[in-house]
Structure 1
Amino acid sequence: MMSTSKNGKSFHKFFESWLVKQNQDLNQLVRASKDNNNDMMLSLLIHSVVKHYEEYYREKSRYAISDILGMLHPSWLSSLEDAFLWIGGWRPSMAFHLLYSKSGIQLEANLHELIRGFNTKDLGNLSGNQLVLIDELQHKTISEERKLSENLAKVQESLADTSMVELSHVVSELMRDELVVNDEEEKIKKNISKKEESLLDLLKKADDLRLSTIKEILRILTSTQGVHFLIAAAELHLRTHEWGKKKDAAVSHHK
């Protein structure tokens, strides 16, 4: 098993390389959105981008086994990104806000064409059936999100359960009497280890929900709409990361 520090550095390196890959995907998606590509070409591109998301969560899951705490408080993210984390990543329901925001922007930009009867094929032209399916998926996702949040609360509250309170008291008493606390520390390690296992399970389920939400949204959208959705997602992620890093650097410079 990797050490926590080595594991963190290893995933940080993977994360930086994955950002490069995401930026390359973004460039391809933008080019595809401007060219007259057929549905087959766009579907292949979307499939490739989704594969890269799958790779990210697969690696994240692998590293989390040896450093769940590091994954829940990632040092490779900025303070801005960290402030908006939900169980070690982005909140799945945010994908719908992203979709509706981009849809509104494109609807406004292409309003004249739509009034004249032209089909823009982007997110500004979602059909009634698509909106119904998206709404149903949003409600389902929020419900799953709520369950995970409730489970997280239970794990967090367990830090003050009877066993932990008793152990913290016993160890404090022994330390005051300057006695050895090896046996008690072993009990604490086992106790905390159980809580880490619960956190690992929660992160896995949260990441599964994040990935499945992206896939389900893409199934509802047409290939052209899917390209625009993935562009918006990549732009928001990459730019937020950059803004956060610049803000952290500015704060560090003024200290």
Structure 2
Amino acid sequence: MVQREGNRKGPITASNSEHEGPKTPDPKTLRRLAQNREAARKSRLRKKAYVQQLESSRIKLTQLEQELQRARSQGMFFSGGGLLGGDQNLHVISNISTDAAVFDMEYTRWLEEHHRLTCELRAAVQEHLPENELRMYVDNCLAHYDVVMNLKGMVAKTDVFHLVSGMWKTPAERCFLWMGGFRPSELIKIIVSQIEPLTEQQILGICGLQQSTQEAEEALSQGLDSLNQSLSETITSDSLSSPPNMANYMGQMAMAMNKLSTLEGFVRQADNLRHQTLHRLHQVLTTRQAARCFLAIAEYFHRLRALSSLWLARPRQE
């Protein structure tokens, strides 16, 4: 009988041990859990804002396309900062097309938004945010470059010469213009020193990107040189004496127009190369390195614009 009581007490003790409640976490653990929850909440909010910004950019581009179509259909254009139409067109001569004028306005807005995003990115880097939070700011900047590429693609359809001329850029920026934009291989050289230290794998990736980019640039430049030479030969295939043979003249102009239409293709390929280079850099680099990369790019072009302002404001001798 005594032995049975002892056997009965053993299981009861074990059962009580199994049903003991969980230990209360220490304050440090509770604080860390709270911080993690707050970080996750902020990350969700930033992701939501990022998605909304992309949707807003898509809507904005759609509206811009509609504005261009409406302006073309109404025969309206910009001159001296004002939108003109109807009989006023008879008295005003515009140096740029409607599409180019709208592009210039949208590019100015793009620069303002780019400055705001860059300031946010710089503040995020200085605050040493975790990479998962910093990534949202980096992605915002990359997506904003996609916006300007889309804007350029729209105006290239109707006024590719405006892009090639670089009149939408400041004077100092035009010194480095290549097929309607920056030369991506030069940009890689500029930012490499800003994103060190690099791992061996990253160095190999960037060197490979640099080489392939330079090869693509060379191929495009050679193609454009060939186009220029062919175009020159076409319009001079007949005598340049005046008056020209009208039949030959019109034939030359028709051939030249066909050849000149390929210029849009060169600009589009150059823009695609610029677009691919930015995205490849984003893939090769860590989030924090990519942040420094985009900050360095923004600062470089900011300094070129500042140099242009100083140049235009310089004292001039009469």
Same fold (TM over 0.5): yes
1:208 CA drift (Å)? 0.4
Structure-2-length-normalised TM-score? 0.65
Residues 215 and 133 of structure 1: is their aligned pair in 2 closer, same or farther, counting only changes over 3 Å?
Answer: same
TM-aligned CA deviation for residue 159 of structure 1: 2.3
Per-residue deviation, residues 86-129 of structure 1 (Å, max 9, x unmatched)? 11111110122112232xxxxxxxxxxxxxxxxxxxx2321121
- Structure 1 vs Structure 2 CA RMSD: 2.2
CA distance in 2, matches of 1:64, 1:33: 36
1:151: which partner in 2? 223
Alignment partner for residue 129 of structure 1, among 178, 181, 201? 201
Bigger shift: 92-101 or 217-226? 92-101
| 1:68-100 residue CA offsets vs partner (Å, 9 max, x unmatched) | 111100222222211211111111101221122
Once the 2 structures are TM-superposed, how far is the Cα of residue 236 of structure 1 from its aligned partner? 0.8
Percent identity over the alignment is: 23
Decide whether the 8 Å contact of 1:95 with 1:213 is kept in 2: no
How far, CA to CA, are the matches of 1:60 and 1:125 in structure 2? 34
Compared with structure 1, are the counterparts of its residues 69 and 254 closer, same or farther at alpha carbon in structure 2 (3 Å cutoff)? farther
Cα distance between partner residues in 2 of 1:63 and 1:34? 37
The residue aligned with 1:94 is 186
Structure number with bigger Rg: 2
Figure out how many residues of one structure are paired with residues of the other and give that number: 226
Q: Map 1:39-118 to 2 at 5 A.
A: 39-102=131-194
The 8 Å contact of residues 23 and 238 in structure 1, kept in 2 or not, is answered as no
Q: 2:179, 2:270 within 8 Å by CA — same for their partners in 1?
A: yes
Question: Who is 2:113 aligned against?
Answer: 21
1:131, distance to aligned residue in structure 2 (A): 0.8
SS at structure 2 position matched to 1:166: coil
Match of 1:138 in 2: 210
Distance 1:166 1:205 in 2: 29
CA offset digits 1:130-151 (Å, max 9, x no partner): 1111111111111111111111
Deviations for 1:167-223, whole angstroms, at most 9, x for unmatched residues?
Answer: 5x26x4326xxx9x5x66644543332233211100000000011101101111000
- CA shift for structure 1 position 34: 1.0
The residue matched to 1:66 in structure 2 has which SS?
A: helix
Query: Counterpart in 2 of 1:10?
Result: 102
Residue in structure 1 matched with residue 236 of structure 2 by the alignment: 165
Asked whether the equivalents of residues 180 and 267 of structure 2 are also in contact (C-alpha less than 8 Å), the reply is yes
Q: TM-score, with normalisation over the residues of structure 1?
A: 0.81
2:302 — aligned with what?
238
Letter in 2 for 1:203: V
Shift of 1:42: 1.8
C-alpha contact 1:99 1:229 (8 A) present in aligned 2: yes
8 Å contact 2:138–2:291 — kept in the other structure?
yes
Seen in structure 2, the aligned counterparts of structure 1 residues 69 and 135 have a Cα distance that, compared at 3 Å, is same
> Which whole-Å CA distance do the structure 1 matches of 2:181 and 2:199 have between them?
30
Letter in 1 for 2:235: M
TM-aligned CA deviation for residue 248 of structure 1: 2.9
Amino acid at match of 1:26: T
Q: 1:208 to 1:254 in 2, by over 3 A?
A: farther
Quick one: distance in 1 between partners of 2:273 and 2:188? 13
Shift of 1:246: 3.1
Which structure has the highest helix share of the two? 1
| Pick aligned residue for 1:213 from 273, 277, 302 | 277
Name the SS for the 1:160 alignment partner. helix
CA distance in 1, matches of 2:314, 2:252: 40
